[in-house]
Amino acid sequence: MDKDLARLIEVMKARQRFVVTSHHNIDGDGIGTLLSFYFLLTSLGKEAVMMNDGNIPYFYQFLPEVEKIISYQNFLALYPDYHTTFDALVVVDCSNLARLGKAEEIAQGFSLVINVDHHPDNSRFGTINWIASEASSTFLVYTLFKELKIPLNQKVATTIMNGLISDTGGFTFVALDRRMLLIVEDLIRAGARTSEIMHHNFRCRRIEALKLLGKALERLTYDSELGVSFTYITQEDFQAYDAREEDTEGIVDYGLYIPGAEIAVLFKEIGREEFKVSLRAQREREVISIAHHFGGGGHFKAAGFKIRGDLQAVIQKVMQYIQYASQQKIVAH
Ligand SMILES: [Mn+2]
């Protein structure tokens, strides 16, 4: 067994009270890992509290026991002495502490921080770090259930499958090899609600979100020589369509639908002259080096960063760097 995994199991068995959290603006894998790790701890007879800074998108509200996830504010109000109330903080699917949002403030208060993640650029901020480059972070929780010989039930299988389906785009960016198929079969046998998960992840969006998608698609720009597309969403758009940040989930992916497109970029104005840039890649290309260049991170094929400036200047700066990186033929490792 992996040394880090063995240490993680040892510590989990020894401690009793845990706080489990994941990154700000939680996604399908973050929430799947948060919930399945919580089920793992409670199966071991541990006490666990789930906390997350930020909104839980409505299309993940179908997941079992999602209502038990408390906000950072409620957590502080309920557990003012959290550093003595709990024995450990578990951070899942989160490459660095800054991605916790406001919850970063409490990480220092814990003598034990357990870091469980699949991002290749994880900063190893924990006391214990179990980092493995798997298709999703829920995959790691699956491994823990197997190592500890805890049987899967429907809730566990559904939350693990949610992360897997979400981070692989419904198995489109992963090799459906024998190992993956066996895990999928195991999860389905345990009761994972696959079609419900597919529906909520990819076919369930508010009309405000669909209108926003329409606007982003109308503006889609494509450079066929570079195989790079981009679009943007401004603060005015969010207001015009009464849309929120969760309504942008999945929009960046459309830029890769164009035959020949290898990189897609979405610029989202999250505050005045403050942008969140999402990057996606396919085939031989990667985008993690582009995200790192601008101070962000992520995966080889899906990454992001934040940048300040006015819209046109930001687009120009980023697109110029992508053009430069394309000419250098920076390809996936
Ligand atoms: Mn993930």
pLDDT tens sequence across 307-316: 999 999 999 9
Cα of 168 from ligand 1 centre, angstroms:
9
φ and ψ at residue 85, rounded to 5 degrees: -65, -35
**The one-letter amino acid at 99:** R
pLDDT greater than 50 at residue 293: yes
Please name the fold of domain 207-327: Diaminopimelate Epimerase; Chain A, domain 1 (3.10.310)
User: CA-CA distance, 313 to 225, in Å (whole number)?
Assistant: 22
Q: Where are the domains of the chain?
A: 3-202, 207-327
- CATH topology match: 3-202 vs 207-327: no
Q: What is the CATH number of domain 3-202?
A: 3.90.1640.10
Cα of 166 from ligand 1 centre, angstroms:
8
User: CA-CA distance, 66 to 121, in Å (whole number)?
Assistant: 28
Question: Residue 173's pLDDT band (boundaries 50, 70, 90)?
Answer: confident
Which token pair is 19? Answer: 């706080």
Write down the residue that tokens 């993940």 correspond to. Answer: 60
Output the CA torsion 266→269→273→277 (10° steps): -30
**Cα separation values, 174 from 56, 134, 166, 284, 288, Å:** 26, 10, 11, 14, 17
User: CA-CA distance, 122 to 140, in Å (whole number)?
Assistant: 15
User: CA-CA distance, 81 to 170, in Å (whole number)?
Assistant: 41
Is the CB of residue 40 less than 8 Å from the CB of residue 144?
yes
Which token pair is 269? Answer: 């104005």
- What is the mean predicted confidence (pLDDT) over 93-107? 96
Cα of 164 from ligand 1 centre, angstroms:
8
Q: What pLDDT, on a 0 to 100 scale, did the predictor assign at position 332?
A: 46
Higher pLDDT: 26 or 328? It is: 26
Cα of 23 from ligand 1 centre, angstroms:
10
Cα of 312 from ligand 1 centre, angstroms:
31
Cα of 116 from ligand 1 centre, angstroms:
11
What percent of the chain has pLDDT above 90?
95
pLDDT greater than 50 at residue 178: yes
Any alpha helices (H) in the chain, and if so which ranges? Answer: 3-14, 28-43, 72-78, 82-85, 104-107, 137-147, 154-167, 178-189, 194-202, 207-218, 235-240, 288-293, 311-327
Is the CB of residue 261 less than 8 Å from the CB of residue 222?
yes
User: CA-CA distance, 237 to 326, in Å (whole number)?
Assistant: 30
Cα of 48 from ligand 1 centre, angstroms:
21
Q: What pLDDT, on a 0 to 100 scale, did the predictor assign at position 329?
A: 62
Cα of 329 from ligand 1 centre, angstroms:
27
Q: Is 162 exposed, middle or buried (0-12, 13-18, 19+ CB in 10 A)?
A: buried
Q: What pLDDT, on a 0 to 100 scale, did the predictor assign at position 326?
A: 86
Cα of 278 from ligand 1 centre, angstroms:
14
pLDDT greater than 60 at residue 243: yes
Cα of 33 from ligand 1 centre, angstroms:
8
